[in-house]
Amino acid sequence: MQTISIHGASGSIGLNAIDIIQRNPHRFQVEVLIGGSDVDKLAAIAKGVNAKHVAIADSTKYQALKEHLPGAHIYAGPAGILEAASINVDICLAAITGAAGLLPTYTALSYCKRLALANKESIVAAGEQVMAKAQACGTQILPVDSEHSALFQIFDEYQRSALRNVTITASGGPFRTWSKDQFATINKSMALKHPNWSMGPKVTIDCATLMNKGLEYIEAVLLFKLAPDQVKVIVHPQSIIHALSSYEDGTTLAHLGMPDMRTPISYALSWPQRIKTPVAPLDLASIATLSFEAPDYDRFPCLQMAEAAMKDSQAARIIMNAANEVAVKKFLAEEIHFTEIPVLIQKFLDNVPLCPINSIEDVIALDHDCRVS
């Protein structure tokens, strides 16, 4: 029996993890849940898994959550989340969306044996600090993003010297076949309709702009300690192949699977074993065709921005990540148009300060400054 903490329990990753856990009650026990502001939803999840510790981001909801869960330890607000993240467990699933998950993820590294990482922004903004702390604490990081989980499974560390490159795939999002002129007609509801995956709104918009693949490109470079030029991105509309690794003898290994997040989540929780999931088996005959195309940087400049930020500096990565979160929030609030997202991000990137990032405090400070500027 392994004890688990779930950061972002009421989000898409959290709910899929709950599904896996409830199907395997003999293997997993949820000790800690951290959620956003929906008291009823968080309380229902906590009751379903009998969580002992429950934290809610909205400090004004403390009493309401306490009344829903009289037998649990309740925490609220930023300080409460960090307190809940400091409870010892075997596995922490870090799935809070955006930079909001950075400090809870960083904190949890001291209190878990394995970090199942779904909060890609933690690595994008603070990969150096997160990886160093994980090593110092002896905490294993297993990626949950489908592409990085795939790379973890096919990446042969013993053949690193023979590696040419790795490739992560992108579906291309809902506007893959649209002309640049058609982008003027894009609205919020269109952008929230991903063709293959079911995800939260922020990640879904990132997929529509290809920024999500840019963040994953950075995550792959840092997690697997690769040179920026060793990580490639290719558009694969069917989302069946998730990653490939290519070697100097001409061999390319590929990881295939249905586009269902329960597969990589279950792998991160159960590794080195595999457990049964309700994910449909892969039927290549019915899929029939797998197609590929190069990403279009002209229509989707966010991917190129991410690649450039990775080659620039950690400060550039922090600023790009913060600017993207600001832009997506404005788009979801219908304050800017879809085509203005990369424009706003580039404005931030045009003013990257020459500041060294030496600590997690430096990361948080620069991220904060970007959001209030």
pLDDT tens-place string over residues 185-221: 999 999 998 776 666 788 899 999 999 999 999 999 9
Same domain, 307 and 185: yes
Nearest by Cα to 369 from 307, 313, 314, 323: 323
* Statement to judge: residues 96 and 161 lie in one domain: no
- Together in a domain, 54 and 72: yes
Q: What is the pLDDT of residues 91-133, one digit of tens each?
A: 999 999 888 899 999 999 999 999 999 999 899 999 999 999 9
93 in the same domain as 217: no
Say how far apart CA 253 and CA 267 lie, in whole Å: 19
With beta carbons less than 8 A apart as the criterion, state whether 34 and 81 touch: yes
pLDDT > 90: percent of the chain: 90
CA distance 224 to 208: 26
In sequence order, the β-bridge partners of residue 163 are 247
> What local confidence, expressed as pLDDT, does residue 98 receive?
84
Q: What is the SS3 assignment for the chain?
A: CEEEEEECCCCHHHHHHHHHHHCCCCCEEEEEEEECCCHHHHHHHHHHHCCCEEEECCHHHHHHHHHHCCCCEEEEHHHHHHHHHCCCEEEEEECCCCHHHHHHHHHHCCCEEEEEECCHHHHHHHHHHHHHHHHHHCCEEEECCHHHHHHHHHCCHHHHHHEEEEEEEECCCCCCCCCCHHHHHCCHHHHCCCCCCCCCHHHHHHHHHCHHHHHHHHHHHHHCCCCHHHEEEEECCCCCEEEEEEECCCCEEEEECCCCCHHHHHHHHHCCCCCCCCCCCCCHHHHCCCCCECCCCCCCHHHHHHHHHHHHCHHHHHHHHHHHHHHHHHHHCCCCCCCHHHHHHHHHHCCCCCCCCCCHHHHHHHHHHHHHC
In a shared domain, residues 228 and 338: yes
CATH of the domain at 253: 1.10.1740.10
**Domain shared by 109 and 248, yes or no:** no
Q: Which amino acid is at 2?
A: Q
Instruction: Let me know if residue 266 belongs to a domain.
Output: no
Looking only at the bridges linking them, the beta strands covering 163-170 and 241-247 are antiparallel
- Partners of 29 in beta bridges: 3
Q: Last residue of some domain: 143, 171, 202? A: 143
Domain of residue 47: give its range: 2-143
Domain closes at, from 93, 111, 143? 143
53 and 190 share a domain?
no
Count of structural domains, the chain: 2
Binned at pLDDT 50, 70 and 90, residue 351 comes out as: confident
220-261 pLDDT tens trace: 999 999 999 999 999 999 999 999 999 999 999 999 999 999
Residue 201 lies in a domain: yes
Percent of the chain with pLDDT over 70: 99
Query: Are 295 and 319 members of one domain?
Result: yes
Residues forming beta bridges with residue 117, ordered by sequence position? 94, 143
Q: At what angle do helices 120-137 and 211-223 cross, to 10 degrees?
A: 20
- 277 within domain boundaries: no
Residue 97, pLDDT score = 85
Final residue before a domain boundary, out of 126, 143, 160: 143
35/200: higher pLDDT: 35
Q: What is the pLDDT of residues 284-336, one digit of tens each?
A: 999 999 999 999 999 999 999 999 999 999 999 999 999 999 999 999 999 99
pLDDT at 304: 96
Residue 340 lies in a domain: yes
Residue 66 domain-assigned (yes or no) = yes
* 310, 218 Cβ separation under 8 angstroms: yes
220 and 338 in a single domain? The answer is yes
Q: Quick check: 194 and 201 in contact, CB under 8 A?
A: no
Q: Over the chain, what is the mean pLDDT? A: 94
The owner of tokens 């506007």 is 175
Same domain, 307 and 368: yes
* pLDDT for the residue 198: 67
Contact 363, 106 (CB under 8 A): no
- Arithmetic mean of pLDDT, 28-57: 95
Q: Tell me the per-residue pLDDT of 122-168, one tens digit each, with 9 for 90 and over.
A: 999 999 999 999 999 999 999 999 999 999 999 988 999 999 999 99
CATH of residue 126's domain is 3.40.50.720
Could you tell me if 127 and 159 lie in one domain? no
- Residue 264 within any structural domain of the chain: no
Check whether residue 7 and residue 96 sit in a common domain: yes
Say if 296 falls within a structural domain. Answer: yes
The pLDDT, as a whole number, for residue 203 is: 87
Predicted confidence band of residue 371 (pLDDT cuts 50, 70, 90)? confident
CB 162 within 8 A of CB 249: yes
The answer to whether residue 274 is domain-embedded is: no
User: What global pTM score does this model have?
Assistant: 0.94
- The single residue listed with the structure tokens 């992560």 is 168
Residue-level pLDDT at 194: 74
